[in-house]
């Protein structure tokens, strides 16, 4: 389970401002008392906070930067507890909750517990045992509530991500997830794209109704998810169109064997789909186009080549698997626009597939 959430910039800036203002006020108060050791401690704590605030303001902050800043401030809080006891220990409680904002739950539990124990040990040097006991109970409660709160938010976050990235009908990933995965592919990443289009799907809807069409898509999604190898991810692109992304992380493994894996998977899927008994008296088939990404190739031309292979499969009588070849004639190549990003490429592909 990951972080509770990504802290928004405005919230991070507010946290910094409140912490800095508090430290400045305490520092000024200690200056008026001539308590220079505490002025030194507060001043040291202000340095990382100020630097972190500047990074937040410039939009250069990172999660690591925030974590390091919190750890440095925590050391300052512990030093304050050692010096002034009760007055410094009140900072334990907000710091505990901030740990659960910046770290995953397990790390936050360990670090906040260690931080609390350190502060209590330091505070025990100047405060009575009953005061330390009260702070210990309150701190444990804060840690427990922080962990429960973080767990609930993390579960809700995971559920929302699933809703946002899954197609509700087939259970496969949706177009939004596809766009994210394509954007995450480095320019040099090699992969294989497989496009699937259910043959004569409009006829199924017209003859048997849209509910039967939904059953076909649901069955296809389950079958596709069950047959794919671990290196492949399936997406419902829209309507009766599906995409499969083969992403092998080892470049040495990306050769003819990888392409054979895609072709074998496509053949197995087509054979299994023909055996699916969903539409009475009809056999469900699909056409498949495959294109292997060339090293350094951008996404738009890669999509164009996969789309051309799918066109060839359709023109060859449907229920075919076609791998893109450079010898394809012009009629197989979809109309290309000048595109520079994955979203535009997907839009272009959507237009092309809608004509099949």
Verify whether residue 240 is a known catalytic residue. yes
Q: Rounded CA gap, 150 and 116, in Å? A: 18
- Shared domain check, 202 and 118: no
- Shared domain check, 189 and 144: no
Residue 4 falls inside a structural domain: no
> Which residue matches tokens 């010898």?
327
Mean pLDDT over each residue of the chain, to the nearest integer: 84
Residue 20 falls inside a structural domain: yes
Q: What is the domain count for the chain?
A: 2
- CB 302 within 8 Å of CB 192: no
Choose the final residue of a domain: 107, 132, 165.
Answer: 165
- CB 267 within 8 Å of CB 320: no
- Shared domain check, 230 and 192: yes
Residues whose CB falls within 8 Å of the CB of residue 45, separated by 6 or more in sequence, listed in order: 23, 72, 73, 76, 77
* 125: pLDDT strictly greater than 50: yes
Q: Identify how many contiguous H helices and E strands the chain contains and give both numbers.
A: 13, 5
**Within its chain, how far is the Cα of 264 from the centroid?**
30
- CB 16 within 8 Å of CB 59: no
Residue 222 falls inside a structural domain: yes
Q: Rounded CA gap, 6 and 83, in Å? A: 34
Burial (CB count within 10 angstroms: exposed 0-12, middle 13-18, buried 19+), residue 211: exposed
* 18: pLDDT strictly greater than 60: yes
User: Which pLDDT band, with edges at 50, 70 and 90, does 234 fall under?
Assistant: very high
End-to-end CA distance of the chain: 42
- Shared domain check, 119 and 211: no
Burial (CB count within 10 angstroms: exposed 0-12, middle 13-18, buried 19+), residue 285: middle
Give SS3 for 6.
coil
Give SS3 for 142.
helix
Choose the final residue of a domain: 165, 198, 219.
Answer: 165
- CB 220 within 8 Å of CB 273: yes
Of 115, 109, 114, residue with least CA distance to 143? 109
Of 179, 185, 152, residue with least CA distance to 165? 179
Q: Tell me, what CATH number does 204's domain have?
A: 3.30.70.270
* 250: pLDDT strictly greater than 70: no
- Shared domain check, 205 and 135: no
Residue 3 falls inside a structural domain: no
Choose the final residue of a domain: 165, 186, 217.
Answer: 165
Burial (CB count within 10 angstroms: exposed 0-12, middle 13-18, buried 19+), residue 317: exposed
- Shared domain check, 291 and 244: yes
Residue 179 falls inside a structural domain: yes
- Shared domain check, 184 and 113: no
Residue 170 falls inside a structural domain: no
- CB 309 within 8 Å of CB 322: yes
High-pLDDT (> 90) share of the chain, %: 44
Of 241, 161, 240, residue with least CA distance to 204? 240
- Shared domain check, 285 and 349: yes
- DSSP class of residue 252 equals G
What is the predicted pLDDT for the residue at 102? 85
Helix (H) or strand (E) holding 198: strand 192-198
Of 258, 311, 265, residue with least CA distance to 289? 311
What is the predicted pLDDT for the residue at 227? 92
* Residues 210-222, mean pLDDT to the nearest whole number: 93
Of 266, 90, 110, residue with least CA distance to 193? 266
* 342: pLDDT strictly greater than 50: no
Q: Rounded CA gap, 246 and 23, in Å? A: 53
Of 98, 97, 79, 99, residue with least CA distance to 89? 79
- Shared domain check, 281 and 137: no
**Within its chain, how far is the Cα of 78 from the centroid?**
35
- Shared domain check, 154 and 53: yes
* Residues 310-321, mean pLDDT to the nearest whole number: 93
- Shared domain check, 332 and 198: yes
Residue 2 falls inside a structural domain: no
- Reading the block at residue 319, the tokens are 């229920």
**Within its chain, how far is the Cα of 105 from the centroid?**
17
User: Which pLDDT band, with edges at 50, 70 and 90, does 135 fall under?
Assistant: very high
Catalytic residue (choose from 56, 83, 240, 241): 240
Residue 124 falls inside a structural domain: yes
- Shared domain check, 198 and 154: no
Q: Rounded CA gap, 110 and 113, in Å? A: 5
For the chain, the maximum distance between any two Cα atoms, rounded to a whole number of angstroms, is 93
Q: Rounded CA gap, 213 and 201, in Å? A: 7
Domain that holds residue 185: 175-353
Q: Dump pLDDT digits (tens) for 43-102.
A: 888 888 888 888 888 888 777 888 888 888 898 889 889 888 888 899 899 999 989 988
* Residues 302-329, mean pLDDT to the nearest whole number: 87
């Amino acid at each position: 389970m990951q972080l509770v959430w990504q802290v928004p910039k405005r919230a991070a800036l507010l946290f910094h401002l409140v912490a800095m203002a508090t430290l400045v006020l305490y520092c000024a108060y200690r200056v008026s008392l001539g308590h220079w050791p505490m002025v030194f401690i507060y001043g040291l704590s202000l340095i990382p906070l100020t630097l972190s605030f500047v990074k937040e303001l410039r939009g250069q902050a990172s999660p690591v930067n925030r974590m390091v800043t919190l750890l440095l401030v925590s050391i300052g809080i512990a030093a304050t507890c050692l010096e002034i006891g009760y007055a410094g220990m009140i900072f334990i409680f907000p710091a505990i909750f901030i740990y659960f904002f910046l770290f995953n739950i397990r790390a936050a539990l360990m670090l906040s517990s260690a931080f609390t124990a350190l502060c209590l040990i330091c505070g025990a040097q100047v405060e009575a045992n009953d005061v330390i006991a009260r702070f210990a109970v309150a701190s444990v409660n804060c840690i427990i509530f922080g962990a429960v709160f973080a767990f609930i938010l993390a579960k809700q976050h995971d559920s929302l991500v699933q809703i946002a990235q899954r197609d509700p009908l087939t259970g496969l990933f949706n177009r939004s997830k596809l766009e994210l995965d394509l954007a995450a592919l480095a320019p040099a990443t090699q992969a294989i794209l497989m496009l699937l289009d259910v043959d004569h799907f409009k006829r199924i809807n017209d003859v048997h109704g849209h509910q039967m069409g939904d059953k076909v898509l649901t069955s296809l999604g389950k079958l596709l998810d069950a047959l794919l190898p671990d290196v492949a991810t399936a997406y419902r692109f829209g309507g009766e169109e599906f995409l499969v992304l083969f992403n092998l992380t080892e470049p040495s493994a990306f050769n003819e064997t990888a392409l054979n894996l895609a072709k074998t998977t496509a053949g197995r899927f087509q054979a299994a789909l023909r055996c699916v008994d969903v539409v009475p008296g009809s056999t469900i088939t699909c056409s498949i186009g495959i294109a292997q990404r060339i090293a350094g190739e951008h996404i738009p031309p890669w999509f164009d080549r996969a789309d051309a292979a799918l066109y060839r499969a359709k023109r060859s009588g449907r229920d075919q698997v076609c791998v893109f070849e450079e010898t394809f004639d012009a009629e197989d190549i979809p109309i290309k626009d000048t595109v520079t990003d994955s979203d535009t490429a997907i839009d272009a592909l959507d237009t092309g597939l809608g004509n099949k």
